[in-house]
Chain A
Amino acid sequence: MYRKILVTGGTGLLGNGFRAIAGDYPDREFVFIGSKDCDLTSRDDTTRTVERHKPDAIVHTAALAGGIQYSTSHPATLLRDNVLMNLNVMEAARTQGVAKVVETLSTGMYPPDAPNPLKEEYIHEGYPHESNYAYSFAKRLIDPAIKAYRSEYGLNCIGLVSNGIFGEHGNFRPAESVMVAALIRRFFEQRDAADPIVIWGDGSPLREYTYSGDMARAFMWCLDHYDDTQILHVGSNEETSVRDTAFMIADMMGIDRARVTFDTSKPAGIHRKATDNTRFVSRSGFTYTPFALGLERTIRWFVENYHVPGAVKL
């Protein structure tokens, strides 16, 4: 068993998912580090941190990411920092004798025209979306890194692919958050007004989100049971349309559905972004929190904490 687990990106979405479930694993010790604790783009800093904590496993969830404005203006920074962080974590694990490393990939790395649902083997089949090519390529590079480090050094490292994460303690900043989080915030902030809440497109696009605690539990299952080179989709494949999501949020916040209007003159985005998680679910038998339940919990937390200074990333 991997008793002591170092979680990088400890203040991020997935890191917060790990904090939420840590109590369910009483025989483990979780050490969370954020960018204030360690600069993972620095090899020395990374090695020192791993040396100090001597973890049995590293779950590397830290990444530099941003919305479309950031990703189109900072491709070099995104490529450099993310590749360096991944290299440094794997090198530190190798040189410090860490027994297992979990690397985090993202479904955003796939070619935009790949067939639905996405399968793991599509990872290199075409260019990533041009608005986020550097981040996507850095994520893709984890695949050969895992192969190479397993093959030459026998380092037990695996790559898990996450899709959109939401949940309590999430990120609700418009440019940085997944759509569902942005909707929660917007609906809440317009709750007491009377004017329409406008959503671009006809609301038909389908999206899937994974509740952050589920994602962390899926990662824990893979940490304990999965030792293959093959990258793995571990997110939920429950799809909900934008329209249904908007209505659910409205209902949960006591907003009249009639206020939700769809502006079909505006682009709706990609119709469907689905992932095939068969590899993972058939091995693990994993069950996910239903989207509606995760959404309800998230909204309750958001509403309770919105006015607490510093509690919500706004």
Chain B
Amino acid sequence: MILVTGGTGFVGRHLQEELARRGLPFAIFSSHEYDLTVRDQAEAVFERYRGADAIVHLACYQAAADFPAKHPGDQFHVNNLIHLNVLEAWRRHAPGARLIGAGSSCAYPSALASLTEDRLMDGAIHGSVYAYAFTKRALCTGLAAYNDQYGLNGSYVIPPTLFGEHDDFHVETAHVAGALVGKFVGAIREGLPEVEIWGDGSQVREFLYVKDFVTALVDLVPRLDREVLNVAPGRGISIRALATAIAEASGFTGRIVYNADRYVGVKEKFLNTTRLAEKYGMTLDADIAAGIGRTVRWYSEHYDRLKDHRKFEAAPPAVATVI
């Protein structure tokens, strides 16, 4: 049985579907049932599922865009508590289970060109996401520490930016892929003539369709052995190519305006996948077209319900949500 934290969030929903599709038993819970920022509740849920063979730890308190700059203290505090409580509950109640924690590519040093696993903490983090990114480094350090001190089997997987159905599409909190899907679909539905994109569109980033990620993740769960692993295509595409793909999928025919005055970060960034390929013989699809098509279709179908949906309504809650 696989226990999933953050099972009700974006990645968690897709992971559930994949586990169900393969007929693998799993357990999920929401933050209303067990709040992982509270030690006793983290202990309670791990005790309840103490027979788990594996734990996939996705839970975290995350949003993109302006959110990290507005709530660094809250993100720092909440995520550190979640990770510390999960690690401690794991070793107390389910030490026989392997644990796979979800990392984030934003925890890599911002000055690094080739993002290889052994250099995850070899430099400073970009200023825009530091609070959240440091808690992801804390999780990685914590896994190593629990492995070393208690002889557990914990690993850490790092995806690139994921996109897909159930993503966050709100411009204030979404990653660039979700935000652009939100912008283009929104422009069509609201009859807007143009879509503005920050930067000149030339910067290269890495994207992965969430279903491809969870498929790889479920394959990796029984195979990972106390390691850090990039799970990614290992290739990037330009923001311009991403925008074009989304515009085509959504049928947008208006103008795309690139606002080069906005700072959008380093020129090029993607994960090194040598280990994934050589040790696991796995390659992931860098072609986003099919996934973008499904995502645009899904968001269009749910547009009326989701167009004003905020990831964190009003004040951010001091509870676990998910990547």
Give the B-binding residues of A (Cβ under 8 A).
72-80, 83-84, 87, 90-91, 94, 123-127, 133-134, 137, 141, 144-145, 147-149, 151-153, 155
Contacting pair B77 A87 (CB below 8 A):
yes
Contacting pair A148 B137 (CB below 8 A):
no
**Known A75-B144, A144-B134; contact A152-B125, beta-carbon cutoff 8 A:** no
Contacting pair A137 B149 (CB below 8 A):
no
Residues of A within 8 A of B75 (CB): 148
Contacting pair A79 B142 (CB below 8 A):
yes
Chain A minimum-CB-distance residue to B121: A127
B122 on the A face (CB < 8 A): yes
Alpha-carbon gap, A155 to B72, bound state (A): 13
Closest 4 CB pairs of A and B: A152-B73, A148-B72, A75-B145, A76-B149
Alpha-carbon gap, A80 to B39, bound state (A): 12
Contact stretch, chosen from B10-18, B80-88, B216-224, B244-252:
B80-88
Alpha-carbon gap, A133 to B87, bound state (A): 17
B130 on the A face (CB < 8 A): yes
Contacting pair A126 B84 (CB below 8 A):
no
- Among B84, B87, B88, the most chain A Cβ lie within 10 Å of the Cβ of B84
Chain B minimum-CB-distance residue to A72: B148
B267 on the A face (CB < 8 A): no
**Known A76-B150, A87-B80, A147-B131; contact A134-B145, beta-carbon cutoff 8 A:** yes
Residues of A within 8 A of B74 (CB): 152
Contact with A along B29-73 (1 / 0, CB 8 A): 000000000000000000000000000000000000000011111
Q: Besides the contacts A76-B149, A124-B123, A147-B72, what 19 more A-B pairs have beta carbons closer than 8 Å?
A: A75-B144, A76-B145, A83-B84, A87-B77, A90-B77, A91-B77, A124-B121, A124-B125, A126-B121, A126-B122, A133-B141, A134-B141, A134-B145, A144-B76, A148-B77, A151-B69, A151-B73, A152-B70, A153-B73
Contacting pair B73 A148 (CB below 8 A):
yes
In this complex, the interface size class of chain B, counting residues with CB under 8 Å from chain A, is: 20 to 34
Residues of A within 8 A of B80 (CB): 83, 87, 141
Contacting pair B70 A79 (CB below 8 A):
no
B91 on the A face (CB < 8 A): yes
Chain B minimum-CB-distance residue to A136: B141
Residues of A within 8 A of B131 (CB): 144, 147-148
Contact with A along B87-124 (1 / 0, CB 8 A): 11001000000000000000001000000000001111
Contacting pair B123 A126 (CB below 8 A):
yes
Contacting pair A152 B72 (CB below 8 A):
yes
B204 on the A face (CB < 8 A): no
CB distance from B12 to the nearest CB of A (A): 25
Alpha-carbon gap, A144 to B134, bound state (A): 7
**Known A141-B138, A144-B76, A144-B131; contact A76-B123, beta-carbon cutoff 8 A:** no
Chain A minimum-CB-distance residue to B72: A148
Residues of B within 8 A of A87 (CB): 77, 80-81
13 pairs from A and B in contact (CB 8 Å cutoff): A75-B149, A76-B149, A78-B145, A79-B138, A80-B142, A125-B123, A141-B134, A144-B125, A144-B130, A147-B131, A152-B70, A152-B73, A153-B73
Residues of B within 8 A of A126 (CB): 121-123
Contacting pair B144 A133 (CB below 8 A):
yes
B258 on the A face (CB < 8 A): no
Alpha-carbon gap, A173 to B171, bound state (A): 57
**Known A125-B124, A144-B130; contact A76-B71, beta-carbon cutoff 8 A:** no
Chain A minimum-CB-distance residue to B84: A80
Alpha-carbon gap, A18 to B144, bound state (A): 36
